[in-house]
Amino acid sequence: MRLDFRVIIGLIIAAVTLLGYFFNTSKNPVTGENQHVNMTADQEIALGLQAAPQMAREYGGESRDPRATAAVQQVGQRIVQANGLDQKTKYQYRFHLLADDQTINAFALPGGQVFITQGLLNNLTTEAQLAGVLAHEVGHVIGRHSAEQVAKSQLTQGLSGAAAIASYDPNSPGSSVARAAAAAMIAKLVNLRFSRNDELEADKFAVDFTPKAGYDPRAMINVMQMLEKKSGGGGQPEFLATHPNPGNRIEELQKDIQQAYPQGVPSGLHP
């Protein structure tokens, strides 16, 4: 009876977790997609603002180069305004250049805080490449990828906990530990898969956003080629570690561009 009781409790927890995940939906104002998120836009903004100072400190703080900082902010805001993102969403888009000139990375926090390191900026050769990177990170914000990941993490944690309770055997205490570890590994794999899908979506956003701001979307391909070249030098750029590679990313970008511009990329865009 005790085992049956534990199974019932586990099933109840699993059911509540699943219902909470699948019934917590919100329509994305840009894509129109119904997403499983349990945070409001205001909560995303607050979370991003709260985390921004700590994230900046981890990369040496804000850059002291006013010219480079202004360039990053100008290009970022051009992407936002050209695509009407400041009108379509409540997010507060802020673009930060971080002082770390050794780390090659860029990332975004929920609510509109976008960061790029001096190390990555130093390896970009055109303004369009900078626009591609920033548009990609804005895509993560617009896609509400952080909010989705929080919801997925809570889902997998809840299911893992339910599995641990249901499978606990008092005659073999180690069994629950092993099964919980296996459940945690499955959860990690599920989240990694979604992360890779997020990268593909953010790349598509970059292809869409950059031409409207006057930049050639093919510049993002040059960025990926640079990152791959850096990887071949022995040390993987942190950008590729924090942005899981969903296979042949360059090929996927080429497909996105071909689909968006079947007659060819318009002339007159900044290369």
Cβ pair 158, 165 in contact under 8 A: no
Residue of 168 and 30 predicted with greater confidence: 30
3-state secondary structure 184-216: HHHHHHHHHHHHHHHHHHHHHHHHHHHHHCCEC
Which pLDDT band, with edges at 50, 70 and 90, does 224 fall under? Answer: very high
Average predicted confidence (pLDDT) for the chain: 81
* Over residues 45-53, mean pLDDT: 89
The CA distances from residue 82 to 75, 79, 85, 87, 209, in Å, are 10, 5, 8, 11, 8
DSSP 76-142: HHHHHHHTTHHHH-----EEEEES-SS---EEEETTTEEEEEHHHHTT--SHHHHHHHHHHHHHHHH
Residue of 107 and 145 predicted with greater confidence: 107
38 pLDDT exceeds 80?
Answer: no
Positive/negative CA dihedral, 110, 60, 194, 21: negative
173 pLDDT exceeds 50?
Answer: no
Q: How far apart are CA 117 and CA 104, in angstroms?
A: 6
* Over residues 217-244, mean pLDDT: 86
> What percent of the chain clears pLDDT 90, i.e. is strictly above it?
51
- Mode of pairing for the β-strands spanning 94-98 and 113-117: parallel
Closest CA to 253 of 216, 144, 229: 216
Residue of 253 and 235 predicted with greater confidence: 253
